[in-house]
Chains A and B, each alone.
Chain A
Amino acid sequence: MTRIPPAALFGLFFTSLYFLMAILAPWIAPYSMTEIVGDVWEPWSADHWIGTDNIGRDLLSRMIYGGRTTIFIATAATFISFTTGSILGFTAAVIGGWVDQVMSRFVDLIMSIPTLIFALVVLSVMPVTLTILILVMGLLDATRVYRLARAVAVDINVMDFVEAAKLRGEGRIWIIFREILPNALSPLVAEMGLRFIFAVLFVSTLSFLGLGVQPPNADWGGIVKENKDGIIYGIAAALVPAVAIATLAISVNLVADWVLNRTTSLKGGRG
């Protein structure tokens, strides 16, 4: 086993820290998410490690529960975007012809509309529930995954071993899942890290604009929004979730880079 480079170690540490916090939230949060336990914007103390928020709730507890929501939504959206995006992308590449044309032009059409504006329009006419939020994010992101999956699969699809499978008479399901998928996995895994980060940023943006997670439920973008007025008074409460978003994004990125380097021969990796 080769040594893990420091950057990847840093990434692994923070990524696992945030994910553990998200999973264990009910057991490790000192207070409940909605309970008002003190004054508005109390400074850091032994009772409230990183102070209280704009209406006097414990900020650490909000952060832990908020992380749970943010990470859950991002993970679910990434899962949806990956399954739909890659399966459709592979299908388009394998079938080709007009099926590929129709699907690819449809994806181009959706991608030509800025994602954020598209999501804002959809979410403002539909009831904002967790399910709808995840579906909208997942399906919009699926267009990006589709493009990558299709490009990778088109390359693999012309290899002789795929032709050999076609000559054998194998069906499309076998070709997609047994011949193409295993060989497309490493670029897709690396892309998964990036898509997860975009999902985190996206849900945070939506919540900040008031169309994401609705109060009193917490998520990191929402916490920034709730506490942003404090910045005028020199209160740093809004910076805590901002820093959390930034560190999560960077950490996952570092891990994804490391995975890509290890699993592909691109970028001088040893695979």
Chain B
Amino acid sequence: MSDALLKVRDLKIGARVYPPGEKPRDIDIVHGVSFDLEKGKVLGLIGESGAGKSTIGLATMAYGRGGVEITGGEVWVNGREILGTSLKDLRKLRGTEVTYVSQSAAASFNPAKKIMEQVIEASIHASKFSKKDAEARAIDLFTRLGLPDPETIGDRYPHQVSGGQLQRCMTALALCPEPDLVVFDEPTTALDVTTQIDVLMAIKKAIRDTGVAALYITHDLAVVAQVSDEIMVLRMGDMVEHGTTDQIINAPKEEYTSDLVSVRSRKHEGKPPSDNPVLTIEHVTARYKGTNFDVLHDVSMELHAGQTLAVVGESGSGKSTTARVMTGLLPARDGQIVFEDRVLSADLKGRARDDLREIQMIYQMADVAMNPRQTVGTIIGRPLEFYFGMRGAEKHKRIDELLDDIEMGAEFKDRYPAELSGGQKQRVCIARALAAKPKIIICDEVTSALDPLVAEDILKLLHNLQKREQVAYLFITHDLATVRAIADSIAVMYQGRVVRYGTKAEVLSPPFDDYTDLLLSSVPEMRLGWLEEVVEHRKMESAGN
């Protein structure tokens, strides 16, 4: 214990909150967390949003984000207590001894400066290296992290490299001043699954090569299982469980941890498609106004009553655009949409009110999908007024029923969206869609902004509602675990085309085309050694070619 690089003892962190219409009050975010981290080890911090992961990560640099204050406990780095030391001493610590990799590299790099300048800035500032040595070191790190053209990539500006490359540049930035400890705060969360693997492997290799200690913060247990030696599970500022990665994944002691481990294992037997689909998209080609290239090429798919069609692919593959064409927000240039044997107008404006009612949509970000100045009652009640002309007591009775359907009580009727939790907001959006009694609901990444356990509940709710209402879902997602849990058929999209389409069993069984193989193998699995297997598998594939 004496040689621990980082010692955290009974760390308590508080913040002042300003609830609307009330007096500001102080709350505790982290209630007494303790742990040790030895040189060259990686500790994964995992938990839902609000668990205090990032707050603890930043506290190891004696830093609290706006309004956040470290109220008690001790943090020892390299045998020194850093809480309460002067700002001057902290400046020597931050950025050189302890460094930080944030979730969004794009928001953290200065867009007006070249990458190299920013990567070596801290080392030069702390007089740790000369400019020449620092640059040589940066180029070495670029090579280790597998960046293309390591000699010259530093001369580019942040916008001239891809998101995954920039995230690796940020890792280089953190490793450049030879720190003792690196805090990785959700470094791969904002990336596509296929890119995530490269970054993950690069980070893992860099940690091993440099022998640095790391805190790896994430909400994705499958990811943290690949990189860390130990895992600490946090919930609402308390430690739930702390153990080796092997023990947490294979033999969790606490119920909460086993919930987290098993959350992705839900299985759903796919149903075979019926004979007449409720909606067909036939050979649709579309482009955005004012551009001269198509974003969808000859896309066809079918939706069946009471079934779910999952559309998967990475960002930019045309998933959401397909939904926009279906709803008529983006009229198709070519091809048609057939609903119950009649062709729907390509443009939203040409559709009858009843046609609009039949296709409803649920969005990814529930908080911007609801007008913040309307109450839950108004939000759910409006489709009832609009489509069915309901008024007064009749409408209120139906609102109560809908609130009951989404497992929320009538007392929520007068609340505003800001007063709801993330999961409750998404439930209200589901109720709003159901209020229209549609035949089709488009779910656009509805669970990707939610914590795993909350997302699981939403999926269950959607599934139960589908069984009862026989509504067809078009489920857009990039998360294949979600697909396995809910889909009956799958369409894999890549660069505006459907590259694979069929029932779940067909799509998920070999032989795979190249892209589907890449996509499927990129989904992190909850077991040790998965990352290495995938990388090995890919090497063999490319050797075979």
Residues of chain B contacted by A161 (CB below 8 angstroms): 368-371
Residues of chain B contacted by A183 (CB below 8 angstroms): 371-373
Contact B372–A166 (Cβ < 8 Å): no
* Residues A228-251 near B (CB distance < 8 A): none
Contact A169–B329 (Cβ < 8 Å): no
Contact B363–A169 (Cβ < 8 Å): no
Contact B363–A164 (Cβ < 8 Å): yes
Contact A182–B371 (Cβ < 8 Å): yes
Residues of chain B contacted by A164 (CB below 8 angstroms): 361, 363, 369, 432
Q: From A156, which residue of chain B is reached at the shortest CB distance?
A: B371
Residues of chain A contacted by B374 (CB below 8 angstroms): 178, 182
Given the interface pairs A160-B365, A167-B356, A169-B386, the reply to whether A179 lies near B20 with Cβ below 8 Å is no
Given the interface pairs A183-B372, A183-B373, the reply to whether A167 lies near B386 with Cβ below 8 Å is no
The docked-state distance in angstroms from the alpha carbon of A168 to that of B358 is: 10
The docked-state distance in angstroms from the alpha carbon of A170 to that of B383 is: 10
Contact A167–B368 (Cβ < 8 Å): no
Least CB distance, A271 to chain B, in whole angstroms: 7
Other-chain residue from A160, A166, A178 in contact with B348 (beta carbon distance below 8 A)? A166
Q: From A162, which residue of chain B is reached at the shortest CB distance?
A: B371
The docked-state distance in angstroms from the alpha carbon of A164 to that of B371 is: 10
* Residues B390-437 near A (CB distance < 8 A): 432, 436
Residue A270 at the chain B interface, CB threshold 8 Å: yes
Q: What 0/1 readout, one digit per residue, does chain A (162-187) give for beta carbons within 8 Å of chain B?
A: 01101111100000001100110000
The docked-state distance in angstroms from the alpha carbon of A166 to that of B351 is: 12
Contact A168–B383 (Cβ < 8 Å): yes
Q: What 0/1 readout, one digit per residue, does chain B (215-253) give for beta carbons within 8 Å of chain A?
A: 000000000000000000000000000000000000000
Of residues B329, B357, B369, B436, which shows the largest number of chain A Cβ atoms within 10 Å of its Cβ? B369
Residue A159 at the chain B interface, CB threshold 8 Å: yes
Contact B373–A168 (Cβ < 8 Å): no
Contact A170–B373 (Cβ < 8 Å): no
Q: What 0/1 readout, one digit per residue, does chain A (127-164) give for beta carbons within 8 Å of chain B?
A: 00000000000000000000000000000000111011
Given the interface pairs A161-B369, A161-B370, the reply to whether A166 lies near B329 with Cβ below 8 Å is yes
Least CB distance, B326 to chain A, in whole angstroms: 10
Residue B447 at the chain A interface, CB threshold 8 Å: no
Q: From B352, which residue of chain A is reached at the shortest CB distance?
A: A169
Residue B128 at the chain A interface, CB threshold 8 Å: no
Residues of chain A contacted by B271 (CB below 8 angstroms): none
The docked-state distance in angstroms from the alpha carbon of A270 to that of B371 is: 20
Least CB distance, B208 to chain A, in whole angstroms: 43
Residues of chain A contacted by B356 (CB below 8 angstroms): 167-169
Of residues A161, A166, A183, which shows the largest number of chain B Cβ atoms within 10 Å of its Cβ? A161
Residue B353 at the chain A interface, CB threshold 8 Å: yes
Given the interface pairs A167-B329, A271-B20, the reply to whether A160 lies near B383 with Cβ below 8 Å is no
Least CB distance, B465 to chain A, in whole angstroms: 18
Residues of chain A contacted by B293 (CB below 8 angstroms): none
The docked-state distance in angstroms from the alpha carbon of A197 to that of B112 is: 40
Residues of chain A contacted by B360 (CB below 8 angstroms): 167
Contact A168–B382 (Cβ < 8 Å): yes
The docked-state distance in angstroms from the alpha carbon of A159 to that of B364 is: 12
Q: What 0/1 readout, one digit per residue, does chain B (27-60) give for beta carbons within 8 Å of chain A?
A: 0000000000000000000000000000000000
Q: From B417, which residue of chain A is reached at the shortest CB distance?
A: A161
Contact A270–B329 (Cβ < 8 Å): no
Residues of chain B contacted by A270 (CB below 8 angstroms): 18, 20
Residues of chain B contacted by A271 (CB below 8 angstroms): 20
Least CB distance, B325 to chain A, in whole angstroms: 13
Residue B327 at the chain A interface, CB threshold 8 Å: yes
Contact A168–B386 (Cβ < 8 Å): yes
Least CB distance, A170 to chain B, in whole angstroms: 7
A-B contact pairs, 27 of them (CB 8 A): A159-B368, A160-B363, A160-B365, A160-B369, A161-B368, A163-B329, A164-B361, A164-B369, A164-B432, A167-B329, A167-B348, A167-B361, A168-B356, A168-B387, A169-B353, A169-B357, A169-B386, A178-B371, A178-B374, A179-B371, A182-B371, A182-B373, A182-B374, A183-B373, A270-B18, A270-B20, A271-B20
B-binding residues in A (CB < 8 A): 159-161, 163-164, 166-170, 178-179, 182-183, 270-271
- Interface contacts beyond A159-B368, A178-B371, A182-B373: sample of 4 additional A-B pairs, CB < 8 Å, sorted by A: A161-B371, A164-B361, A168-B383, A168-B387
